[in-house]
A and B are shown apart, each in its own frame.
Chain A
Amino acid sequence: MATAPRYWRENPSRYNMVGIKCNSCGRHFFPPRAICPVCHRKSVGKIEITKLKGEGKIFSFTEVQEGLEELSLQRPYIVALVELTEGARVTGQIIDCEACDLTIGTPVRATLRKLSEEGPSGVIHYGYKFVPIKEKAP
């Protein structure tokens, strides 16, 4: 189970929401990819590595009862498709809230949490999850 090197290469995007901007059509994508899925060949040489703000709103969400083994301690957990301010859509876990507190459009921001561990002696993987942004108390 030597997945550590693969995870390690993806750490910048996983920790800090580093994605890409296609300078042909202006769209942002996350996670980073070599060419724009819309412009294809036209985007060659026009892909720019960009840090996304990590803020957005819930596009759609669901509560998972029977899911990933590594999230068994957090069951039931919430997974959402988040539309980032830059327009890219990303799937992520929504934490520190109950499903009943959420609606389509709830503003969220990325935070760093443990994603999984390779057993008790293996590498711990960290990455983004999303928390609802609270209205600031007056």
Chain B
Amino acid sequence: MSIISPSRKEELRKLAELARYKVATYGEDIDISVFEEAEEVKEIDELSKLPPEIQDAAISSGIDITEKERAGSFVQVDHSVIYQKIQSAYRGQIEIMSITDALEKYPELEEYWWKAVRVDQDKYTAHAELYPMHGYFIRVLPGQKVDRAIQACLLLQENARTQNVHNIIMMEEGSSAQIITGCSIAPKVNEGLHIGISEFYIKKNAKLVFTMIHNWADGFHVRPRSGAIVESNGIFINNYILLKPVKSIQSFPTAILEGENSKAMFNSLLYGLKDSKIDVGSRIILRGKNSSGEAISRAIVADSSQIYARGTLIAQNDESKAHLDCRGILFSNDGIMYAIPELLADRAPNSILSHEAAIGPIAEEEIEYLMTRGLSKEEAVSLITQGFMDVEILGLPKHLEDYIRRMIELTQKESM
């Protein structure tokens, strides 16, 4: 049992109860009651023992089944944490466990639980509190520089279920790490709802590159709720990659830059396919002296997909600056792209906020230029598109960069 104090538990429950039907600000409203709870799944001792179709699902969201390039792994299927492992070379550098175990083990987690995300933000946060179903706790210990990525995988194998997870990622002082989280589903899953609460705590001088790869299905709803609190000299890089169809996804992660010289970067690569309704934003609140941020999104709208790309920069410190860069290409007559950049200087007259947003086709001139070097029109469009979905902005190790590049190529080949 979690050792969150009874009084705090009661307080959270009350807040969640009150927000149980609270419609979210953005995204279509979902009736959570139509989805069932999933059954328990057995633990495994090796990732290669996952059923083949689940392995494929994990691989397609960036998970390395061999774990060769990883410092540790966490896997949850439906409601069950089935695998957690730290490679021997990394013991003493990191901790990976189910959040349920972590709350039992570390009483001090109470002060981080629902601190970066509000429990009563909307019905999804409320649901996650009222019907908890694990999630992960990843901690990188003080001063540890973890040179391989840590991977976490959240999978669904039953159709028409909800999965509500609550994750806490704790980067202790002076630590640095890469975390890759893959969310994916078995082939037979078409419908369902994933609610993912993620709270990030980036302590002094710590750096986290967090990459989330989503791999859903036509009938699947997704409501991530993420918040980060960054202390002085801390760096938080959040990458989000969506290259598969989804029924709807709505998320608006927020980074609060509390500390001096703290930094946040949000990068999103969004590929709208079929009838996907994608509403993805990022919000940076600059509170620390000399804090800075950047939010970059690249969106391709194909088929009859709709992409809303939001970005909000809020400067609350006079010595802060941030930039927002949002670009989109429509490859279809039936798609919609809506770019919504917002800048707010909140009693900080010397802060510098800027944005560029552009939606438009690939310039004919660029295509023709590449054709003079021998590429066919299709090859030229494909090369420019891959360049547009600029993987290098993500700040990933080469093998992950190559992996995502290949995924983008694949998505593009299939969609054209």
Q: Do A and B bind each other?
A: no
Interface residues of A (CB under 8 A from B): none
Interface residues of B (CB under 8 A from A): none
